[in-house]
A = this chain, B = another copy of it.
Amino acid sequence: MSDLDLISRHLIEDKRSIFSSLSESDKELLLNTITCAAYKKGDLIYKEGDKPAGLLCLSTGKVKIFKEGVGGREQIIRMVKPNGFIGYRALFAGENYNASSVAIEDSIICCFEKDSLFKVLKNNNTLALDIIKKMATELGFSHTRTVSLTQKHIRGRLAESLIFLKDTYGFEDDNQTIKVYLSREDIANLSNMTTSNAIRTLSTFASEKVIELDGRKIKILDLKKLERISELG
């Protein structure tokens, strides 16, 4: 059995996978039509307007999903971690992608082929209900985010983003360093601000001993304070 076989099998068999409770034959159907690919850091996975070929699932690595707005300025709308889905919204809406996706680390991504997936989906109500639940949760997240990004001030937005990154990717072994290494530009695009302001505000947080900076490494020194900054707006 090849490495990629193992990888795709794991995506389905893992007990946290929404596919884990499928019948063996359904699992086989999905496995037989899955394709996996490796992406280098910075590689484009898909861009706005592309047609989804299936359901993408991140096996290893990290991925950002963003929309291009006014004057090409990008807004990151989601960060994906291993075992997370990529671009499922467009697939299920029957639309082309209206966001773009780029690997921010070397990544392996598997694609569940569309027709097989829908075939399985038609006969598995639990799966459909799981997807409904997943999307409803994501929609709630999106609404919350809209309000934060529009109403909070720069400090609040940046603090929220740092907490979001911590919640998504967790800490390194030191229990302080956020386990993702973004450029200042990406942090800005996540937090709806200019790169200069992201840099400036990060420095301010560092001088206030809320965080510690070392290149792209961000240590959270005082989570309580960061949460207070986030809530204050």
Q: List CB contacts (< 8 Å) of A108-163 with chain B.
A: 121-123, 125, 128-129, 131-133, 135-140, 142-152, 156
Using Cβ atoms and an 8 Å threshold, which residues of chain B touch A62? none
- A77 and B147 alpha carbons, distance in the complex (Å): 9
Contacts of A140 in B (CB 8 A): 89-90, 93, 95, 98
Q: A144 and B89: CB pair below 8 A? A: no
Q: Looking at the complex, which one of B90, B95, B123, B233 makes contact with A70 (CB distance below 8 Å)?
A: B233
Q: For the complex, give the distance between the alpha carbons of A131 and B99 in Å.
A: 22
For the complex, is A164 an interface residue (Cβ under 8 Å from B)?
no
Could you tell me if B133 and A132 are in contact, using CB atoms closer than 8 angstroms? no
Q: Given the known A-B contacts A146-B77, A147-B75, A233-B70, are A136 and B98 also in contact in the complex, defined by CB atoms under 8 Å?
A: no
Whether A151 and B73, one on each chain, are in contact in the complex, defined by CB atoms closer than 8 angstroms, is yes
Task: Answer whether residue A67 sits at the interface, using C-beta atoms and an 8 A cutoff.
Answer: yes
A94 CB–B CB distance under 8 Å? yes
- B142 and A139 contact, CB distance less than 8 A: yes
A interface residues, tally (CB under 8 Å): 46
Of the candidates B95, B98, B132, B142, which one forms a contact with A128 in the assembled complex, judged by CB atoms under 8 Å apart? B132
The 8 Å CB contact of A133, one of B70, B94, B139, B142, is: B94
Complex CA gap A29/B215 in Å reads: 61
Cβ contacts under 8 Å, A156 to chain B: 70
**Any B CB within 8 A of the CB of A83:** no
Judge whether A101 is part of the interface by a CB distance below 8 angstroms: no
Contact, CB under 8 Å: B132 / A131: yes
C-alpha gap A201/B99 in the complex (Å): 30
Chain B residues contacting A129 (CB-CB under 8 Å) are 121-122, 128
Closest 9 CB pairs of A and B: A93-B136, A128-B128, A70-B233, A92-B136, A69-B151, A69-B147, A70-B151, A142-B142, A135-B135
